[in-house]
């Protein structure tokens, strides 16, 4: 890692069984592995992450998530379903994190190199927060947020509203006192229109088609998948667009930097 004393970086992946559109979505099978396993295995491959924690809910219905995460060699933290911010703060404290990398478990093709590049950028530029979706230039499903643990704890301490607690980072994004970075993709126009996140039955059908077309999906990186999707438009049928309302819209005050992840 770059710059200053060694920072303990922990990837925290939020996961729950409840979902209004696709209940139990993260435990669906995608080829030989669950969606959760695809996501956690990719997070384990991030070069500059010291630990991967699955932050799930403290209710019995989420026991399968905890069991699967432990089977994969990840730590588990359990907390409130609605107050996801408190779940992250608790998980970060338990893991003794200095830096928190946030990923959601409905992103089975999250790219380890992109995640690592966002971590490196935040540390190299001595920022407080870094992301790659302010504004989006990667496919929906490549979203990553990196924040210093003390900044995350301060956001929780300052009595955020219910929306901030549910969505974790809005209070951080709005804070004008913080140094914030956005890492944008270069040379891949239109990538942000691709939808690679799991929220609906149509999304699951897309991933099943993709898994059939690309049996070595766990080994593929995001630029390769963009090329595959562009070369086979049938893969994206019934799933052609990103609902931009589901992505973060607070873009003000972000320094823009180019992605340094390998192609």
CA-based max dimension of the chain: 49
Kindly indicate whether the domain formed by 9-258 is annotated with CATH number 3.90.226.10. Answer: no
| pLDDT reported for residue 19 | 80
| pLDDT reported for residue 3 | 45
**C-alpha–C-alpha distance, residues 247 and 147, integer Å:** 18
Angstrom CA distances, 152 to 24, 185, 207, stand at 28, 26, 32
Q: Where are the alpha helices (DSSP H) in the chain?
A: 35-44, 63-71, 84-94, 112-124, 149-157, 162-167, 170-174, 201-213, 222-231
Average confidence (pLDDT) per 10 residues, the chain, 263 residues: 72 92 93 96 97 98 98 97 96 98 97 97 97 95 97 91 92 95 92 93 94 92 94 74 55 87 56
Rounded to an integer, what is the distance from CA 92 to the centroid of its chain? Answer: 15
Closest CA to 168 of 63, 58, 50, 13: 13
- Tallying the residues shown for the chain, one arrives at 263
Q: 40: which 2 tokens?
A: 């956690």
Q: 158: which 2 tokens?
A: 């300052």
| pLDDT reported for residue 2 | 43
Give the CA dihedral 65, 67, 68, 70, nearest 10 degrees: 120
Residue 181 sits at φ, ψ, to 5 deg, of -120, 150
Closest CA to 88 of 15, 161, 163: 15
Hey, which residues does 53 pair with through a beta bridge?
12, 75
Angstrom CA distances, 64 to 37, 55, 85, 104, 106, stand at 12, 13, 22, 17, 16
Q: 133: which 2 tokens?
A: 């979706």
| pLDDT reported for residue 245 | 52
Cβ atoms of 120 and 73 within 8 Å: the answer is no
Domain ranges of the chain: 9-258
Q: What is the pTM of this model?
A: 0.93
Could you count the other beta carbons within 10 Å of the beta carbon of residue 90?
18
């Amino acid at each position: 890692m770059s710059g200053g004393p060694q920072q303990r970086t922990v990837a925290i992946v939020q996961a729950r069984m409840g979902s209004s559109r696709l209940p139990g979505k993260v435990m669906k099978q995608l080829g030989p592995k669950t969606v959760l396993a695809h996501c956690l295995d990719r997070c384990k491959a991030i070069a500059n992450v010291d630990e991967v924690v699955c932050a799930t809910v403290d209710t019995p219905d989420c026991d399968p998530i905890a069991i699967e995460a432990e089977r994969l060699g990840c730590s588990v933290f359990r907390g409130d379903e609605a107050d996801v911010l408190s779940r992250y703060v608790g998980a970060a404290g338990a893991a003794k994190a200095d830096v928190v990398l946030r990923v959601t478990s409905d992103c089975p093709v999250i790219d380890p190199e992109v995640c690592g590049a966002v971590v490196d950028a935040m540390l190299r530029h001595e920022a407080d927060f870094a992301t790659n979706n302010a504004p989006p230039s990667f496919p929906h499903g490549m979203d990553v947020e990196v924040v210093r643990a003390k900044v995350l704890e301060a956001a929780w301490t300052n009595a955020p509203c219910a929306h901030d607690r549910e969505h974790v980072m809005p209070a951080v994004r709005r804070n004008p006192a913080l140094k914030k970075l956005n890492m944008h993709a270069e040379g891949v126009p239109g990538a942000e229109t691709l939808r690679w996140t799991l929220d609906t039955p149509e999304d699951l059908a897309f991933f099943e088609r993709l898994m059939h077309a690309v049996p070595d999906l766990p080994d593929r990186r995001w630029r390769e998948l963009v090329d595959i999707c562009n070369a086979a438009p049938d893969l994206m049928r019934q799933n052609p667009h990103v609902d931009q309302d589901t992505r973060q819209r607070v873009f003000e005050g972000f320094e823009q930097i180019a992605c340094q992840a390998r192609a």
